[in-house]
Amino acid sequence: MKRFTITTYPLENKTVFLRVDYNIPLEKGYVKDNIKIKSSLETIKFLLSKGCKIIMATHLGRPEGKVVHELKVDPLVKELRKLLPKIKITKVHDCIGTKVKQEIKKLKPQQILFLENLRFYAEEEENDFVFAHSLAEGSDVFINDAFGVCHRKNASINAITTILPAIAGFQLEKEIFNLSKALNPEKPLIWVMGGAKLQKIDLIRQALNKADFVLIGGALPFSFLRAMNISTGMSKVDCETISVARDILKKKKWRKKLILPVDFNVAEAFSSRSKSEIVKYNNIKSGHIALDLGPETITLFKRYVRKGRTIVWNGPLGYYEWHQFSTATKEVGKTIAQLTATTIVGGGETSDAVIRFHLQDKMNHVSTGGGAALTYLSGKRLSGVVALEQNYQKFHQFAKTR
């Protein structure tokens, strides 16, 4: 379905409500990783070039409708000012209300007003229409450049699109364009799946329907091993996913595509200083925990990814935050980065790992959306994108006259 595009909508001298996703890790009050902020600059600079007044908003963390000092957006504004040193950026200490209205009236073309954390109001996550109406006051148009929350029905993503003409920003469009390559890929298609989110086991079904091979790492293999009555020691496993894994293993066409680890790097305890050893997949002792793939599996996975013309990687292959358990993620990641195939990296932890090992510039696309990328790759529609399409149906005649 159609939606408004940022390059064709008449944006000159408009007051724009720009929703971004700056939900990024902070360390001692400073931005730890600014990739999400950098990814929004194309949209911001385009709007500034059109003489727009920009009202920016994001969420940060999970304050659950309360003001949490550590989750105020001041560090984000400080980082944005570094990246746009010539632009006046004013930060207001709320996101709705009288003070915000006053600051909007003061705003001049090519200036930015940055609102306080949207989730300080519970109404944001409740998709509350009245709250969305308060956010929209003073704006001519809404731009969604927050791909990372497009799978959630939030007031600043969904309800606001019933009030203002709504447009997808450059980063959102880029995400959809690149991730769609995983759904309509050049073959062979290889999925590399890892991470600790055991609910991803449902995504494996989608991957097995489309991919030629699906490589399983992280915490995901243990559901399959348990389904085969193989001990996994103290390794993370969700009993509810074992039955799903068992059903997958029963289907011959899927079983042939599923590539499970043949060895692991196991530790005596969940600690970065714990002693570790390499063991076969069926020899994990009861008191041990598997925290990375073993060398045979790494070699096996490298061989499979080299076969692909499209590689989709979602989830680290081990506990990469600790050096001694980062080998699989780093080595398989390096191999993927060296390929001429289309390489798509999705998921927050995967993106973090790729950046940590300096591989991001060698991948075709590194998604900024964790849960949103997961939802999209599962073949499900994103509510935030659906809202943009419905908005077009409502406002496209009106837009022609503006």
pLDDT tens digits for 78-97? Answer: 999 999 999 999 999 999 99
4-168+382-400 CATH fold? Rossmann fold (3.40.50)
For residue range 102-156, what is the model confidence (pLDDT) as tens digits?
A: 999 999 999 999 999 999 999 999 999 999 999 999 999 999 999 999 999 999 9
Instruction: Give the chain's mean pLDDT.
Output: 94
CB 121 within 8 Å of CB 146: no
CATH number for the domain running over 177-369: 3.40.50.1260
What the block records as the tokens of 356 is 């940590």
pTM attached to this predicted model = 0.88
Contacts of 327 (CB under 8 A, 6+ apart): 265, 292, 293, 295, 298, 318
Tokens coding 255: 């079983």
Two tokens, residue 18: 């720009």
pLDDT in tens, 220-259: 999 999 999 999 999 988 777 898 899 999 999 999 999 9
**pLDDT at site 398:** 67
Whether the pLDDT of residue 369 is over 90: the answer is no
Most confident of 244-248, 279-283, 360-364, 370-374: 279-283
Q: What is the pLDDT of residue 78?
A: 98
Tokens 């980063």 identify what position? Answer: 171
The pLDDT value recorded for residue 348 is 73
* pLDDT tens digits, 186-218: 999 999 999 877 667 778 888 999 899 999 999
Q: Which segments of the chain belong to CATH 3.40.50.1260?
A: 4-168+382-400, 177-369
The average pLDDT across 157-176 equals: 97
Long-range pairs of 38-46 with CB within 8 A, sequence gap ≥ 24: 38/83, 39/171, 39/368, 40/145, 40/169, 40/171, 41/83, 41/84, 42/170, 42/171, 43/6, 43/18, 43/143, 43/145, 43/169, 43/170, 43/171, 44/18, 44/84, 44/112, 46/6, 46/7, 46/170
